[in-house]
Amino acid sequence: MSKGGSNIGGIVIFSACAVIAAWIGIPRYLNTPAASVEEDVVEDEAPVAPKRKASRARTNAAADSQPADAAATETSAPDDISTEADSSGIAAEETSPSGSEEPAVTAASAEPSGGLLSSTLSSFTASSSTGDEGDARTIMEESQRRSEAKFYRYDGLLQSFDNKGKITDKRWTFDRVGSNGRSKAVLRFSAPAEVKGVSLLIHNHPERASDQWMWTPALQRDRRIALQDRSTRFFGTDFSFEDLEERDVEQYDYEMLGDDVVDGAKCWKIETTPKKSRSSHYTRSIAWIRKDNYLMVRLDNFVDDEVVKRLSTDNVENVQGIWTARILEMSDLRRGTRTRLTLKEVGYNTPVNDREFTLQGIRQ
């Protein structure tokens, strides 16, 4: 046979072998049955929003179980501040924070944001039964979005009930401006006479705890509230300095705990854990979010495994398109006391002078 004929014969034999091998091997793989996919359909009366995958692991933030002795830190921002003890029980501390800790006093942002007293007092669709962190976070984000407002203001009546039934009344006004995580707020007592004019200035930050300064007219002094003192009761009420801060959704990790009912309203029950960057004397909290309007209607704050503070709400109304609880009650479960805050003259998106959110502004 010629050389060319030999080559052609070899090619034919090689091709035949390849065809036989394919004919024998391919069915081994094709015989494997395709996996069946079943979709579980969760029916719920609440609206369902797109899920988002959780990418962050929960962070367990340590918190002190006992409040620190009251102290305040001298600071020079936004204006020069000197320190001295006053009737609030907050003593001065002879140290100055670094310049990086002082917030710049500039015109507040006009971006939308929600009010506690801001997000907590206004501070989310997910399947209610998945337990997925992404669902819980989406719910909390929606709750915050629905409470957004460029400005927020109310007059409040505070009634403190001690464990013997005695009631003490105080009144304050609350003003807030700016976006979530970057808002500024001022709280001013208007009655009784012994606390009239006392003011608290709060500058919230997205990446860390807020900066707070207190103005006491009797001493003509501004004082910065140190981080270790945020668990201290604010002027005899059951709200601590930390309770008056904004709860921005980006500062916490979340876990869905399931469904519950509060005052007849169906709710999502969500655990929130502060991130390491969010200094808090609470180890974790559990929030109840209504399914019909995404309003937070209850908040339990824990130190380790003990519920130490409980915020509950009542008289929910739609004010200028924003669902608002007119009554908020903070209970100190260790002391057996509670403080009820009734919101009067609530207003959203009414412009406020930026100068009010500076130390010069609260001195007036």
Confidence band, pLDDT 50/70/90 cuts, at residue 272:
very high
CA-to-CA separations, 75 to 17, 98, 221, 225, in angstroms, rounded: 87, 9, 11, 10
% of residues, the chain, pLDDT over 70: 63
The answer as to whether 146 is a domain residue is: yes
Retrieve residue 209's tokens.
């705890």
What pTM does this model have? 0.67
| Average pLDDT in the chain | 74
pLDDT value for 76:
39
The answer as to whether 61 is a domain residue is: no
**Backbone angle region of 108, left / alpha / beta, with phi > 0 → left and psi within -120 to 50 → alpha:** beta
The answer as to whether 197 is a domain residue is: yes
The answer as to whether 14 is a domain residue is: no
pLDDT, tens digit, 9 for 90 and up, residues 90-128 = 433 333 333 333 333 333 333 333 334 544 443 422 333
pLDDT value for 132:
56
Domain of 309 in residue numbering reads as 71-363
Retrieve residue 317's tokens.
């109304």
The answer as to whether 204 is a domain residue is: yes
Confidence band, pLDDT 50/70/90 cuts, at residue 152:
very high
pLDDT, tens digit, 9 for 90 and up, residues 290-320 = 999 999 999 999 999 999 999 999 999 999 9
The answer as to whether 65 is a domain residue is: no
The Cα angle at residue 275 between residues 225 and 289, in degrees rounded to 5: 95
The answer as to whether 219 is a domain residue is: yes
Q: What length does the chain have? A: 364
The answer as to whether 318 is a domain residue is: yes
End-to-end CA, the chain? 114
- How far is it, in rounded angstroms, from Cα 316 to Cα 265? 11
Domain count, the chain: 1
Asked if residue 11 has pLDDT above 70, the reply is no
Domain at 293, CATH number: 2.50.20.10
